[in-house]
Chain A
């Protein structure tokens, strides 16, 4: 167990700049998830920490040791790969013991460690099988066991669940979470799946184009996204965005005009923006409400998805083609083709400026 500190970390491959000035601190025993679209640099960042890629610039510390130039085995990190990468010719036991034997441990210690790890991961029955005789979930557990057996200070996971089918993925996700509760070790986990990030993380790091977009707890990211990108990335179905024109405002709140919705009084502090500024209004699907159509507030229902416990209603405004999604508890009576009016929970809206930064909620709450 140890903390990890990244200071102005940079990685370039030739002329491509993959990781740009990343600063991050992973606390002792924390479960941190790197999330972002493909190509955002999340796997590269993990490999920099593992020592599989060399750091171009900046400093990486594990506990208080600078480990920039240490090989992986001396950093005290264990890694679980996406394809598991088990040694096909070795049994489960040998797979887990391989690293321990290379570390020149006494046979009894090796045996003790492997058996202890196998007990935690319920692999005792499988110790003498080869990887090809195991199911996907079992291989996954062996891969974790191999990483854990050396008792690393930090456990790294590189999209470990993406090779599993949906139901197994949920099950393994749960197992990893419980493993973290039980062991309390520092874990860093890479995924492109925001659901995995939300369910597993103590702290989510959203990456975009090699930069950190926002760091925070799942709740913070969901409720107070710092940028439009984070707002759109976290949450499913994704947040609705509509253009909005600032009519006026001060430190206590603002008024905006959104097409179809008319004039809205919002709690954001828009004092930094001039009247007439083009903003973007973000509303999560569950914070929209539908009512009988009236006047200009008129949206057409283009599709209704029934999921059992909830219903997604897809809406299109009279003008423009921004598809909006509304989420509500099932059952619902809304029909495709119907015209409806939209109401917005102004308390739960988000406003983004022209550079996609979120406007802060006014400290003194505006009376809605």
Chain B
């Protein structure tokens, strides 16, 4: 083996070692959560990197809790509604912002961007008043409303960038064929915008699914809560005991769907995110 081959090998080893470090750093917490959730509560505080016995007791425990199942259901309803509303408004807004020439278009875009810069806490109390005023306190609809406010700027921006890239002549061809703006959007643009919609839709879904602060503030009773709050409020037998097992089981349960979704859409997410940056 000569010098050249040696350096090549060393570089290779170094490369994979680095990847291994990154992998461990990123995945280990989740891995440990999975392990913990599958341990019986008696083994909980014994540090163990491999699973010796598999115990589904924690899962049984959380799924027999009515409030947790209810919370999952609430989360699904809220997240899907947010995605649906955000995409519907996002697509129509992006058509107006990307395709229609009107005075103040840039201003509108900047205002939309500005809205997304406020930290959640800053608007919390104001939003609380709004939601109470609308009679949406302790109601999933209140969460849908508040999440949509924070999801829309991103959705509108990404979709507008994407919409601007679609050739003008395509729209004109549709006009010549007698299509109204609505038909143009639904029959011509929508099918071409799937990558962008998958990206923004998924990110909106994740944001709504994981949101904690609003969910905690705007809901009161167990049957209106979403999963992140429900997990935080899982309590043990006494106030001195934190029930790590069930908490981990619940966390894994709500994370797995996201991981699967991201894996399915990962190619699209990348192509959708870079769509605005580089011209294909």
The interface of chain A, by Cβ under 8 A from chain B, is 50-52, 71-73, 77-79, 81-83, 85-89, 98-99, 102-103, 146-147, 150
Contact A85 B177 (CB under 8 A): no
Contact A85 B188 (CB under 8 A): no
* Docked complex Cα distance between A51 and B191 (Å): 26
Tell me whether B110 is interfacial, beta carbon within 8 Å. Answer: no
27 residue pairs from A and B, CB less than 8 Å apart: A50-B176, A71-B175, A72-B175, A72-B178, A73-B177, A73-B178, A78-B176, A79-B172, A79-B176, A81-B172, A83-B167, A83-B169, A85-B167, A85-B169, A85-B170, A85-B172, A87-B173, A87-B174, A89-B191, A98-B174, A98-B179, A99-B178, A102-B177, A102-B179, A102-B183, A146-B177, A150-B177
User: Distance in Å from the Cβ of A105 to the closest Cβ of chain B?
Assistant: 11
Interface range, B side: 10 to 19
Contact B173 A85 (CB under 8 A): yes
Given contacts A72-B175, A87-B170, 8 further A-B contacts (CB under 8 A): A52-B176, A72-B178, A73-B177, A73-B178, A85-B173, A89-B192, A103-B178, A150-B177
B175 to chain A: closest residue by CB: A72
Chain B positions 177-200 with a Cβ under 8 Å from a chain A Cβ: 177-179, 183, 187-188, 191-192
**A85 / chain B contacts, CB cutoff of 8 Å:** 167, 169-170, 172-173
Contact flag A147-B176 (CB < 8 Å), given A82-B169, A83-B167, A89-B192: yes
The interface bits of chain B over 235-271 (1 if a CB of A lies within 8 angstroms of the residue's CB, else 0) are: 0000000000000000000000000000000000000
Contact flag A98-B177 (CB < 8 Å), given A89-B191, A89-B192: yes
**B192 / chain A contacts, CB cutoff of 8 Å:** 88-89
Contact A72 B183 (CB under 8 A): no
* Docked complex Cα distance between A102 and B179 (Å): 7
* Docked complex Cα distance between A82 and B169 (Å): 9
Interface centre among B169, B172, B175, B178 (most CB of A within 10 A): B178
Contact B176 A77 (CB under 8 A): yes
B179 to chain A: closest residue by CB: A102
* Docked complex Cα distance between A85 and B192 (Å): 13
* Docked complex Cα distance between A51 and B179 (Å): 13
**B183 / chain A contacts, CB cutoff of 8 Å:** 102
Contact flag A99-B167 (CB < 8 Å), given A52-B172, A89-B191: no
Contact B173 A73 (CB under 8 A): no
User: Distance in Å from the Cβ of B106 to the closest Cβ of chain A?
Assistant: 17
User: Distance in Å from the Cβ of A350 to the closest Cβ of chain B?
Assistant: 40
**B191 / chain A contacts, CB cutoff of 8 Å:** 89
* Docked complex Cα distance between A83 and B173 (Å): 10
**A73 / chain B contacts, CB cutoff of 8 Å:** 175-178
The 6 closest A-B pairs by CB, nearest first: A73-B178, A99-B177, A85-B169, A85-B173, A89-B191, A81-B169
**A81 / chain B contacts, CB cutoff of 8 Å:** 169, 172-173
* Docked complex Cα distance between A147 and B172 (Å): 12
* Docked complex Cα distance between A217 and B175 (Å): 33
User: Distance in Å from the Cβ of B223 to the closest Cβ of chain A?
Assistant: 43
* Docked complex Cα distance between A187 and B272 (Å): 41
User: Distance in Å from the Cβ of A144 to the closest Cβ of chain B?
Assistant: 12
